[in-house]
Amino acid sequence: MKKAIVLFLISTICSLAVKAERTDKTSLKQIKRIEVLSLDTINGYTSVYAYPDENLNDLFAEQMDSLYHSWYVQNSYDVNFFENETESSELASLPDSVYIQRLQNIDSFVDLSFNKTVKNFIDLYTQRRQQLTEVILGLSSFYFPIIEEELDKYNLPQELKYMPIIESALNPTARSRANAVGLWQFMYGTGKMYKLDIGTFVDERRDPEKSSAAAARYLNDLYKIYKNWHLVIAAYNCGPGNVNKAIRRAGGARDYWAIYYYLPRETRGYVPAFIAAAYVMNNYQKHNLHPRYPDFPIVTDTIQVRNYVHFTQISETLNIPMAELQSLNPQYRLDIIPAKENKPYTLRLPLEKIAEFIDMEEEVYALRRDTFFPNNEVLVPKERGTYVADVNGKDRIVYTVKSGDNLGYIANRFHVRINDLRYWNNIHRNLIRIGQKVVVYVPAGKGEQYAQSGSVKVTQQASSSAQVSSDGKFVYYTVRSGDSLWSIARRFPGVSNEDIKHLNNISSNTIKPGQKLKIQPKS
């Protein structure tokens, strides 16, 4: 019954959008039609180039670049490899017939057409953003199984799993300037329509499993309306109302390429970008691309939590880095799981930590209980309360607000909480203005990385937490909250994660705040 109501609402919105559309007096002759510039037939497969040759790469390059600033890249990869990214217009290109043949070889319910716009996106993934594409390939090993399971529940084409690559570059904490959030970039209204919990402590748009389930239901509802996967994908991006307007303006044509020029610019690039993503995910080896896997565990499991718990309690009791907990559980906005006996929430942990959590569950809840939950109550963190991030030892940077910015977007870009931004800058509510200088504190050593992205000035470097031993051969470093072996190794030239692990007899990547690490810098 609920599904029928949702479908009725979507259909009603679509119908109203069409009826509200005034008679379009713009002659079709005034808008250039899709013209056939070239035909390339292989084994009966025909490619039709769409006119004009639009380069819409800028629309989706921003999502990929936002991944660079995400926790995964900053803490799990050597960011120096991004320095080799090229924006050169002189790129090596294969014959069109090769791309066509490879697309033909992909088993897909969704038509994988080929044209110059698709080709431009293939170049973006395989040449202009090679390293970021390799990160996406690595992250797909974690997120695709989650997405595939939800698509399978509704008997949807499995290739729809490539859509989050276009939406968010597989970054579950991504937030657009329009305030779309998560892997699937749900707007607030659509998220609520599909029963996602969006509140002070929890935002299930950032939950890979919950948001994928909601996206599958939405895509299923759209397919009942259009019966055409290209139109479904387009409607997911710009809304069914805009697709219906384009259909009407194109004289009732229900083909994506026929309504192409009547769609918003972003949507014109959306389907070609999807086709290019499908191509790359199935042919990356042929472009000498190699998945770069993240440091956080790929093999994980979930457990139901039925009591208030703060990530710090879990981190310190089970010896799991805070950043790892945050990456595995991005839906908890303030590092608090507001669970109750009658309203449990899901906690995702590395597989080997599940049994340990079960054995030590009471110890986790009891750790500094009065500090985190006074009177056993979940309190919204105050601006000047306990939970405001400590700035001691962090890099202080100044960001200049640009058109389209909001506090949520800035907080997401620098991986800090909105409450901390308000406190640091004495901002009441969410009011900021273009040109305003916003102070942000980021982990030590990260200031210069953020400065490279523009509109950022580093004004203060963090103090060191390292002390040289009396014989001068070793440095002893005190682990701080948010540190990882990778971020520590980067502080000392020539030192790798494995060097630190070997010198300190560490078998895993797990470290905890306050731990002393022995490091031998190399000259």
The residues carrying an active-site annotation are: 167
**What's phi and psi for 482, nearest 5 deg?**
95, -10
Rounded to whole angstroms, the Cα distance separating 405 from 434 reads: 8
The token pair at 318 is 């089970």
The CA-CA-CA angle for residues 125, 46, 29, to 5°, reads 90
Kindly tell me the burial class for residue 415, based on how many C-beta atoms sit within 10 Å of its own C-beta (0-12, 13-18, 19 or more).
buried
How many other C-beta atoms lie within 10 A of the C-beta of residue 190?
A: 18
Phi, psi of 89 (to 5 degrees): -85, -10
Element spanning 220, H or E = helix 208-226
How far apart, in whole angstroms, are the C-alpha atoms of residue 112 and residue 96?
A: 14
Length reported for the chain: 523
Per the DSSP assignment, residues forming a β-bridge with 47 are 40
Which residues have CB under 8 Å from 363's CB, separation 6+? 317
DSSP state, 514?
T
Angle at 331 between CA 326 and CA 337, to 5 degrees: 80
DSSP per-residue codes, 67-98 = HHTSHHHHHHS-GGGGGG----S------HHH
Distance, in Å, from the CA atom of 188 to the CA atom of 27, rounded to the nearest integer, reads 37
CA separation, residue 427 to residues 146, 199, 430, 431, 437 (Å):
38, 21, 7, 7, 12
Burial of residue 484, with CB atoms counted within 10 A of its CB: 0-12 exposed, 13-18 middle, 19 or more buried: buried
CA 363-365-368 angle, to 5 degrees, is: 90
Cis, bond preceding 52 (omega within 30 deg of 0) = yes
CB-based contact 64:280 (threshold 8 Å): no
Round to whole Å and give the CA distance between 65 and 54: 21
Beginning with the edge strand found earlier in the chain, give each strand of the sheet holding 466-468 in spatial order. Answer: 466-468, 475-478, 516-519
Give the span between the Cα atoms of 379 and 97, in whole angstroms.
Answer: 61
